[in-house]
Amino acid sequence: MKRERATLPTPKSTSSFWHSEPNAFLLGHRTTEALPTEADIAIVGSGITGSAVARFLAEDERASGKSVVMLEAREACWGATGRNGGHCQPLLFDRAADVADFELKNVAAVQSYVQAHNVPCEWRSVSGCRTFWSEELMAEAEREVAHLNTVAPDIAQRVTIIKDKDELKKHRVSSDCVGATLTEGAGSLWPYKLVTFVLEKLVKEGKLNLQTNTPVTEISSSDSKHTLHTPRGTVTSKTIILATNGYTSAIVPHFADLIVPVRGEMSALLPPKKSTILPDSYGMVGALDQPANNDDYLIQRPYEDVPNPGGHLMFGGGRGSGVLPTIGISDDSVMDEGSAAYLRAALLKVLELDGETEGLEELTAAAEWSGIMGYSRDNHPWVGKVPDKEGLWISAGYTGHGMPNGTLCGKAVVDMMLGEEAGEDVYALQAKMVQKGEMPKSYIISKERIAKARMWPTVEVQDKEVCIRNSLV
């Protein structure tokens, strides 16, 4: 069955809490009134990846003097990065060791930028507490941690297994939980504020022409140049970098079965009165009969020293309780009340929330919204040059895990593109980057990888198979 292409971002969307304090400079922003007809480099997408691409271009001498235009279908950072869970948490034991190492470097790079520029994005260094709700899931996690100890003991040192009930209680986890892993090196943040800080800085420094509310509807190519078609006119460029994640196949149909849009649900919940801040960020695997491949995830906003310090519980997931389709869906203007109801009720069951909880059956939502993720058919992002498309580059397909990947994936695409432009062989350059730990080999786009990925079951079939296995456990 041929996978249908993603559609373009919907003109209207559900209201993300992260957009409740919009960046006034960037709302409706167009750096130039008229759309430029040409650019040396065109970036499509203004989330964590697109902003990283623009930043690393601005910081690289090899790109000095080049004109860079960024096209965004809606407002700046209005897609997945402006709608996610606020996690910057590496997954260390259910990924290959080189991927775990890369994600740790990525989190460190984000934290370093936030601290160097004093970005007001509520960055908080936390441990990642991943909870497992069946004996089988816990045993699998323990096997994976044991394997990590044999292949990468330095990374494994960052992971602690907790099964003692008193220890779980210290992390405010319900005694019904089988066990948890505690991972060092995670962070939580207000992602929209980070990205818009970067974009505003680049625009004001004259290093980026940002054109919001300018969807790219098509790319046509001729004579080693590409033309980006928009409702406002066209932009021609030799080099295009797509940071379009779940929407990628809307303009590159060839990727329709490789990067598939999937709608997810998020909420900002008011904590119980007189409750105190949670010590960690959280993932819940298989909680309350949710499928094992659809983690629920939680961070908490601060109670002090920030605007609107409400201690909001930023809780996402609940896909197994949804009543609407999610795979292949590009529309984030719709909420799934089944998932939303689950999110409002679940934390009172899976965590030991303190404060005034007696009689509470669900938490009050300050905001509920949806967002579009890009699920990769082989579970790895697609980073690099599109085969047989000179000058077309992609970094997308994070399978709901973009924050601990997008920054350095954006940097890698910049390094590949500028290296090739300077005369380096791109394949030799990629091999060097892999050897130096600057990019996992499994992320790099190649004809061979595309062919291999197409031998995998589709994203939809993989999702159903895991759900069926989970129901049989």
Task: Tell me how crowded residue 405 is: count the other CB atoms within 10 A of its CB.
Answer: 27
pLDDT at 202: 98
Give residue 465's pLDDT.
Answer: 74
pLDDT at 223: 78
Q: So what's the pLDDT on residue 473?
A: 33
What's residue 466's pLDDT? 59
- At residue 317, the pLDDT reads 96
Domains in the chain, start-ordered, CATH in brackets? 17-81+192-260+378-461 (3.50.50.60), 123-187+261-376 (3.30.9.10)
DSSP code of 428?
Answer: H
Rg of the chain, C-alpha, whole Å = 21
Residue ranges of the chain with pLDDT lower than 70?
1-3, 466-473
pTM over 0.75: yes
SS3 30: strand
What pLDDT, on the 0 to 100 scale, is given for residue 225? 92
Q: How many CB atoms are closer than 10 A to CB 422?
A: 9
Torsion angle, CA of 121/317/163/154, rounded to 10 degrees?
A: -50
**Which of 112, 87, 104, 188 has the alpha carbon at shortest distance from 154?**
104
